[in-house]
Amino acid sequence: MLHAGLVSAPYVTVDDTGARHANRNFHTTHIGGAHFSAFRTAPFKSRLNFLALLRGNYQDYVLNDAAFTFLEDRQVDPSLLTRLNTGEPRRFANQVPFLAYLAENGIDIFDRSIIRPFAEAGIWGAIRHHGLVGNVVIVSDDAGQFRVGNHALCWVHAERLLHKLMPATPRQVKHVETLRELIWLFYKLLKDYQRSPSRRAAHGLQVRFDRIFSIRTGYRDLDQLLSRLKRRKAELLRVLERPETPLNTNASERDLRGFVIKRKISGGTVSRNGRQARDSMLGLMKTCQKLGLSFWHYLGDRLGMGDDDHPIAPLPSMVAARG
């Protein structure tokens, strides 16, 4: 189902939350679109783990144009890239031959700081090789592990950064309040643009964005935050080129709410099978809800207790058909 969603969806929203498994702290990542939801629980949260989730059931690594562009963006030593780039894509069945190839080319595979970007690039290359993600926009709260591919930032989380400021004078408080009002007004204009996009409106919003985030108040922390957000202009204004893109990650937070309630009641999972069953069932339940299906009717159909005259189609095919 995740594969079908990543291939067909124009965007996905992503988020994560804590989980307990076998008396240890784990992390559950949610990946969802308008017509599907998927949950995956792992011991760590990192860009490497997130890319592995996007790769799905594939285990291969690919060094292709996408992988080398990824490495260049991570500012990896160009001399190392020259050794690896033969001009033709290289595909490795799994991690073992991939690491052997890196070692043969003089890369220290035992140094995590060195090997990590190469591992991430190899997985990203495999994702692109298999046609996954494609031109999908990934909307996140700016957690570093989600910043891959065609990325967009959640405006709600961006505005929350103003809440973390600690103004010390009435004048600083007023500056923060004014900027919050300007940002929420701009957010409303972006929602209006989604309903009726046009090239002229997009240009006007870009100009307005620059004006808001170029304001200097004399309150150093606020000014630094505005400069930081201005540098993320492309990700905050992704909606101008892709109007269907959500402006926030509220959908992921809503989907994770059921997981959090389950965690509070049962505490967590013990076995690997139990962990996978919980993730799978939650994903099926949320996907059925988004497709307008009864989860219980779907389960009944899969267990042979449904209406033979009106069988329910496989969820992945329904997700792919909805796009």
Asked whether the beta carbons of 132 and 52 are under 8 A apart, the reply is: no
Euclidean distance between CA atoms 194 and 131, whole angstroms: 28
Euclidean distance between CA atoms 139 and 134, whole angstroms: 14
Q: Where are the alpha helices (DSSP H) in the chain?
A: 2-8, 47-55, 65-73, 78-84, 95-104, 112-129, 155-163, 170-195, 199-213, 220-230, 233-236, 238-241, 250-266, 272-291, 295-302, 315-322
For the entire predicted model, the pTM comes to 0.91
pLDDT in tens, the chain (323 residues): 898 989 899 999 999 999 999 999 999 999 999 999 999 999 999 999 999 999 988 999 999 999 999 999 999 999 889 989 988 999 999 999 999 999 999 999 999 999 999 999 999 999 999 989 888 999 999 899 999 999 999 999 999 999 999 999 999 999 999 999 999 999 999 999 999 999 999 999 999 999 999 999 999 999 999 999 999 999 999 999 999 999 999 999 999 998 999 888 888 899 999 999 999 999 999 999 999 999 999 999 888 887 777 788 999 999 988 87
Asked whether the beta carbons of 233 and 209 are under 8 A apart, the reply is: yes
Asked whether the beta carbons of 134 and 7 are under 8 A apart, the reply is: yes
Euclidean distance between CA atoms 27 and 16, whole angstroms: 7
- Sign for the pseudo-dihedral over CA of 91, 96, 102, 106: negative
Asked whether the beta carbons of 228 and 142 are under 8 A apart, the reply is: no
Euclidean distance between CA atoms 79 and 152, whole angstroms: 31
* Cα end-to-end span (Å), the chain: 12
Euclidean distance between CA atoms 69 and 53, whole angstroms: 20
